[in-house]
Chains A and B, each alone.
Chain A
Amino acid sequence: MSIVVSDLTVRYGEKVVLNDISLEISNAKWTCLVGPNGAGKTTFLKVLLGMAPYSGSIQDNGIEVFKSQNRNVAFVPQHPQIPPGMTVAEYVMLGRSKKDGWGNESLASRSYVHKVLTETNLFGMQDNLVAQLSGGEMQRALIARALAQEPDLILLDEPTSALDLHHQISVLNNIELLKEDGVTVISTMHDLTLAAMFAERLVVLKAGKILLAGDSDIVIHSSELKKAYDNRIDVYTLDSGRPVIVASKFSR
């Protein structure tokens, strides 16, 4: 089973944001959408969530996603809204709302939230207000809330953009663990090196179209990836075999 996207087109008014996209996304794998700003990555995540209208079809394990709230999808935005007056524990507990009903918390949920707080290194901060967290802590709180949801599919929009390198790796490791429980991960990421390191599959988008989709190690060395960035990136391979992608020095 998988997510099957066929002939997907998304328009904002006259503007075509995603143009005739067809793609298959495997379950329990990490798929990363890469491409320059304005390629349509975030819009792709929003239609996968089922909230934004589109033409064509997106079947998530047989369910057409638009306005279907029978799926259990967690969404981690790039710019979260910070609720005033809410503690970290309460914030993470929101992830259980669909299971327990809004405003309720079961004993099972309490111990689950406890476990998630420990996994994301937030234990000890549970009574702090989310508004007082640093960027890295807030990102972990977001991931913790998504984990608390016990989702089948998790959508992450630039999960590491606000983080230093140490926290980037720690957040990405948290996400990677999800796959062991059969969770499908779809993310956008600007850092191509990290994307190639963690995601099994890369989808290269440019101006609303897919240039290439495939296994990370193939896509990362492809000419389409360079083309997406107007040939302004260089790909190096370390002795360990790991690819490193950097911006080319701009030549006049």
Chain B
Amino acid sequence: MTTSTEHGAIARIWNWQITAFCALILFVVAIAAVSFGPISINFLKVFKTLFDLPGGSSGMNRTVILELRLPRVILGILVGAALATSGAVYQTVFHNPLADPYLLGAASGAGLGATIAITSTHHNLAGALPIFAFVGGVLAVLTSFFISGKFFADPNSLLLSGIAVGSFATAIQTYLQQRHSTALRPVYSWILGDLTNASWSVVAWSAIYIAIALVILFSVAKQLDGLMLSDEEAYSLGINPKRLRITAVAAATLATATAVSASGLIGFVGIVVPHLVRGLTHRVTNRSLITIAMAGAAFLVLADLGARTLLSPAELPIGVITAFVGAPFFLFVLRNRRKVLQ
């Protein structure tokens, strides 16, 4: 940490060592995740195959690497980065260290959308599930905005309407689920989240939306400092707080809805990772967004590796792993809330 001596930097704007460390971890974790599985492939061979160097794998191993594991790892990177960054942004915007990206009903809305897809089509439209989930998530958040009425005059009213919309969507979802008992299992497994649907086409469309959302969030990250103050203070410092809040929440919601529709509900990443990075960097959350994105990506890829290998050849839902690590951490955060709040 630097101190504000006469010529020293004050704002601790960039801590490149930790960012570089996270990038390195992400790279190593990604290569490891491609190597390990029911068929283990040599680390070096994976590296050579991925970068198309001589001596790479061929035949079935090449297919496993490039068509099965690589899209899954990349989807994990996208989803992890999206959830962690959105969580950090929500925590800043709502002045709440325990806010997570599902707060405004994105998760329940997506859950309802997915349940509708599963129940009403009898699996014929399984391919459309991500679209249903995406639309459900976005609609739920828009409804929260609409109900809160003041359009962000007050973050708390938005939060409360998000909770109401979320409960309402969950109620309908449960009703549908009970009416179609055959849907129980697929809905349940979707709710726990997994990356098994990863294919290059899923990777492609999620990459587009998540990249757009992350670019927006990174570009407004520094101004988010202002949203940690009251609206009047932010305004006096040259920010339009309402517009910035709408931009940040809309981008975070786009990232979340995309992540949810590609991989189901993966909990805790949005809370655990921002706090973990803040513990390491000792910096205001929004000033570490890129680091948080990379840490989130590494965390999710690692969790997915655990989900694939712990009960191999069976798979655990990834949500089980993130919650297994996340829930105790969450309690730890609550216990040290005073410290974390500061």
A residues near B, CB below 8 A? Answer: 46, 49-51, 69, 73-75, 77, 79-81, 83-87, 89-90, 93-95, 97-98, 102-105, 107, 110-111, 113-114, 117, 126-127, 129, 131-132, 149, 155
Residue on B nearest A46 in the bound complex, by CB? B232
Residue on B nearest A127 in the bound complex, by CB? B3
Chain B, interface residues (CB within 8 Å), range? 35 or more
Digit string of B263-297 for contact with A (CB within 8 Å is 1, else 0)?
A: 00000000000000010001111010000000000
Digit string of B190-210 for contact with A (CB within 8 Å is 1, else 0)?
A: 000000000000000000000
**B233 adjacent to A90 (CB under 8 Å):** no
The 8 closest A-B CB pairs, nearest first, are A103-B222, A83-B228, A131-B342, A75-B236, A102-B222, A89-B4, A98-B238, A89-B10
Q: Pick the contact of B11: A46, A74, A80, A105 (CB < 8 A).
A: A105
**B228 adjacent to A81 (CB under 8 Å):** yes
Complex-state Cα separation, A111 to B8, whole angstroms:
10
- Complex interface: chain A residues within 8 A of B40 (CB): none
Complex-state Cα separation, A240 to B315, whole angstroms:
85
For the complex formed, measure the closest distance between the CB of B238 and the CB atoms of chain A, giving whole angstroms. 4
**B4 adjacent to A127 (CB under 8 Å):** yes
- Complex interface: chain A residues within 8 A of B238 (CB): 69, 97-98
Asked if B12 is at the interface (CB within 8 A of a chain A CB), the reply is yes
Given contacts A69-B238, A105-B11, A105-B13, are A126 and B229 in contact (CB under 8 A)?
A: no
- Complex interface: chain A residues within 8 A of B223 (CB): 102-103
For the complex formed, measure the closest distance between the CB of B271 and the CB atoms of chain A, giving whole angstroms. 14
**B237 adjacent to A94 (CB under 8 Å):** yes
14 contacts between A and B (CB under 8 A): A49-B232, A74-B236, A79-B230, A81-B233, A83-B284, A85-B282, A94-B229, A103-B221, A103-B223, A105-B10, A110-B7, A110-B10, A114-B6, A126-B4
Q: Pick the contact of A49: B4, B229, B235 (CB < 8 A).
A: B235
**B342 adjacent to A149 (CB under 8 Å):** no
**A110 adjacent to B9 (CB under 8 Å):** yes
- Complex interface: chain B residues within 8 A of A117 (CB): 4
- Complex interface: chain B residues within 8 A of A93 (CB): 10-11
**B342 adjacent to A129 (CB under 8 Å):** yes
- Grouping DSSP codes into helix (H, G, I), strand (E, B) and loop, the A interface class, with mixed when no group exceeds half, is mixed
Complex-state Cα separation, A46 to B236, whole angstroms:
10
Complex-state Cα separation, A230 to B10, whole angstroms:
50
Most buried by A among B231, B238, B283, B285: B238
Q: Pick the contact of B229: A81, A85, A87, A113 (CB < 8 A).
A: A81
Asked if B62 is at the interface (CB within 8 A of a chain A CB), the reply is no
Digit string of B36-47 for contact with A (CB within 8 Å is 1, else 0)?
A: 000000000000
For the complex formed, measure the closest distance between the CB of B213 and the CB atoms of chain A, giving whole angstroms. 20
Q: Pick the contact of A51: B222, B232, B285, B342 (CB < 8 A).
A: B232
**A111 adjacent to B1 (CB under 8 Å):** no
- Complex interface: chain B residues within 8 A of A90 (CB): 10-12, 284
Complex-state Cα separation, A160 to B3, whole angstroms:
29
For the complex formed, measure the closest distance between the CB of B150 and the CB atoms of chain A, giving whole angstroms. 12
**A110 adjacent to B284 (CB under 8 Å):** no
Complex-state Cα separation, A87 to B4, whole angstroms:
10
- Complex interface: chain A residues within 8 A of B226 (CB): 94, 97, 102
Most buried by A among B9, B223, B236, B284: B236
Complex-state Cα separation, A126 to B12, whole angstroms:
13
For the complex formed, measure the closest distance between the CB of A57 and the CB atoms of chain B, giving whole angstroms. 20
Complex-state Cα separation, A203 to B272, whole angstroms:
51
**B11 adjacent to A103 (CB under 8 Å):** yes
**A97 adjacent to B236 (CB under 8 Å):** no
For the complex formed, measure the closest distance between the CB of A88 and the CB atoms of chain B, giving whole angstroms. 9
Residue on B nearest A128 in the bound complex, by CB? B342
**A97 adjacent to B225 (CB under 8 Å):** yes
